[in-house]
Amino acid sequence: MLRTGLGARQIEAYRQNCWVEGFHFKRVSPLGKPDSKRGIIWYNYPKINQFIKDS
């Protein structure tokens, strides 16, 4: 469970269906390419927590 209170599977499901890339999360590749599907995912925890409270 992460800082959002959601499990890993719940986070994956929300990220694929509900969250907006660039607003709720963004991908950061090791080479700095913004269009890469690989790399680290940075989450915007305040926006995600607000989204969860609103739903």
Go through the domains of the chain in sequence order and give each one's CATH number.
8-54 (1.10.1660.60)
H/E segment holding residue 25: strand 25-28
pLDDT of 34 reads: 62
Per-residue pLDDT of the chain (55 residues; tens, 9 = 90+): 457 787 888 877 777 777 777 787 887 777 766 666 677 778 888 888 888 888 7
- pTM exceeding 0.75: no
pLDDT of 32 reads: 67
Contact (Cβ atoms closer than 8 angstroms) between residue 1 and residue 7: yes
pLDDT of 10 reads: 81
pLDDT of 1 reads: 47
DSSP 46: H
pLDDT of 12 reads: 77
